[in-house]
Amino acid sequence: MAVDFNSVLAVLCQKLQLLQDIKAISEKELEFIVAFDVDRGSFAPMEGFFNSREKLMLKASGLEDKISRYRRNIGINDLTDGEIKEKLFPEHYQAYMQYREEITRIVSIILANDQKAMDFMKVLLDKTGTKIGKARVQKKAFNAYTQYGSNQGAWFFDKKK
């Protein structure tokens, strides 16, 4: 059992590293969105963030499947923390719980960053919508007072009415 559980701990360590990488990307996304300028900005870097994050999330999902398989083979998949503690050596249980707590902490940070980013994105969407609305009004005003065809300086038709 000790060798099998060491495999679980090794995979948990890999998953923790992937989640730390995802957290770093999440922080970069948040920084980018907070500093984004609606007038001059481009969302091109966000695509890179999303692609990198998606690849890491797929790897983390694969590791989670591996962890579940190991837990099932060891016989601790459906057990409560107390039952797992009774079944494992104390040092294994302590390491297992430390990994779980750290993974939970990192996931909560990622979720908080994502929520903040979504809130800022809503603000950016509102700003963009306002700018589009103003541009439409300006276009209507421009079209209403602009003559088409030849310039006949003596006549002015108010097309707005």
pLDDT digits (tens, 9 = 90+) for 38-92: 777 788 888 899 999 999 999 999 999 998 888 888 877 777 777 888 888 888 8
Residue 149 resides in a domain = no
Is residue 16 in some structural domain?
A: yes
* Residue 151 domain-assigned (yes or no): no
Q: Mean pLDDT across the chain, nearest whole number?
A: 85
Residue 125 inside a domain? The answer is: yes
* The total number of structural domains that make up the chain: 1
Are the CB atoms for 75 and 4 separated by under 8 Å? no
If pLDDT is split at 50, 70 and 90, which confidence band does 1 have?
A: very low
Q: What is the CATH number of the domain that holds 15?
A: 1.20.58
Q: What is the pTM of this model?
A: 0.77
Per-residue pLDDT tens digits for 110-146 = 999 999 999 999 998 898 888 889 889 888 888 777 7
Q: Distance of CA 145 to CAs 151, 155, 156, Å?
A: 13, 12, 9
Domain that holds residue 87: 2-144
Q: Is residue 152 one of the residues assigned to a domain?
A: no
Contact 11, 64 (CB under 8 A): no
- Is 155 inside a domain boundary? no
Which is nearest to 26 in space by CA: 122, 136, 114? 114
pLDDT tens for each residue of 10-30: 999 999 999 999 999 999 999
Alpha-carbon distance of 25 to 110, in angstroms, equals: 9
